Amino acid sequence: MATKYKENTRLKVVKEIPDVVIDCVNKRRYMKGRFLGKGGFAKCYELTDMETKEVFAGKVVPKAMLLKQHQKEKMTQEIAIHRSLNHKNIVGFQGYFEDPNYVYIVLELCRRRSLMEMHKRRKVITEPETRYFMQQIGTACKYLHEQKVIHRDLKLGNLFLSNEMEIKLGDFGLATRVDYIGERKRTLCGTPNYIAPEVLGKKGHSFEVDSWSLGCILYTMLVGRPPFETSSLKDTYTKIKKNEYHIPSRVSLPVRQLIQKLLHSDPSQRPTMDQVLNDEFMTLGYLPSRLPTSCLTMAPRFE
């Protein structure tokens, strides 16, 4: 009897995400569907609005993960920043709500996963494809910077893809707002994938960290591996601080030059997003107006 009682209480402690989640404030009910993926804190599911039948991506964060005040503030900050944004190349923010056990963030559904999965499958992608993606990432970041927001964790896995193969920049978990002109941010809680040298050196950082990450993304798309990759984080950080990377000779001159500008160790020397969009690599070569979904698995033939 005693054991049975124990088992029952244990079952109650394991809090499952309900099949129907309810946003009491906005009077919406969502049906939980397919599991989409898992992040540091969140599990992500398809959520269907039971009235309109519209399908969204729902990020579900257990409140048990938000016990420390600091964690709560980070989550509040992510929501505050993301909900203030509205751009075709940024994951749309639909709303957020909570129940006793979870916080739910309802987002635009990106049905074609991210550039991370495409990179794993394809490794090297062609210059026109790279230009197509860079144009949309640059446009999203230009808008972000105009809103005084620094993303601080631009990486392939945060560059989601819509059914139409359009870039949707997401995950504002490490993002911050610049409060006054010339402010240098001193702290960054987390581990950005493509971390800039000034962040490692704790010298104060700003918008230029996104240009650095964009340089790493550009390199990775065209070379097939990240510029400072080693088998340990410590060695990677040493290479970043020394600005030690090599561009293979097969990479064309305009690309090489843009990578070198973006990966400048002095942040003030890196191109802004506007300068990236007007760079020779971006403006002189062929820019496809759209890409077929077959690009996710194989190189397209541009006629």
What residues are labeled active site? 153
Q: How far is the CB of 170 from ligand ADP (least distance, A)?
A: 6
Which residues form the interface with ligand ADP (CB under 6 A)? Answer: 36-42, 44, 57, 59, 91, 107-110, 160, 170-171, 173
Q: How far is the CB of 268 from ligand ADP (least distance, A)?
A: 31
In 3-state terms, what secondary structure has residue 272? coil
> Closer CB to ligand ADP, residue 39 or residue 204?
39
> Closer CB to ligand ADP, residue 113 or residue 239?
113
**Which residue is nearest to ligand ADP, using beta carbons?**
39
> Closer CB to ligand ADP, residue 283 or residue 297?
297
Tokens describing residue 224: 């097939």
Q: How far is the CB of 206 from ligand ADP (least distance, A)?
A: 23
Q: How far is the CB of 212 from ligand ADP (least distance, A)?
A: 21
> Residues 6 or more apart from 270 whose CB is under 8 A from it?
208, 211, 212, 215, 261, 262, 264
Beta strands in the chain (DSSP E): 20-23, 28-38, 43-49, 55-62, 93-98, 102-108, 149-150, 159-161, 167-169, 176-177
Q: How far is CA 143 from CA 15, 137, 163, 223, 255, in A?
A: 39, 10, 22, 28, 23
Ramachandran sector of residue 58 (left: φ over 0; alpha: ψ -120 to 50; beta: rest): beta
Q: How far is the CB of 113 from ligand ADP (least distance, A)?
A: 6
> Closer CB to ligand ADP, residue 192 or residue 300?
192
In 3-state terms, what secondary structure has residue 61? strand
CA 83 and chain centroid, separation: 15
Q: How far is the CB of 205 from ligand ADP (least distance, A)?
A: 21
> Closer CB to ligand ADP, residue 66 or residue 258?
66
The neighbour count for residue 117, using CB atoms within 10 Å, is 15
> Closer CB to ligand ADP, residue 30 or residue 160?
160
Q: Find out whether 59 is annotated in a ligand binding site.
A: yes
Tokens describing residue 119: 């990179």
Cα separation, 152 vs 206, whole angstroms: 9
The owner of tokens 């990966």 is 263
Q: How far is CA 173 from CA 46, 62, 67, 109, in A?
A: 20, 16, 17, 18
CA 177 and chain centroid, separation: 16
Sequence ranges of the binding site for ATP: 59
Q: Which residues are annotated as a binding site?
A: 59
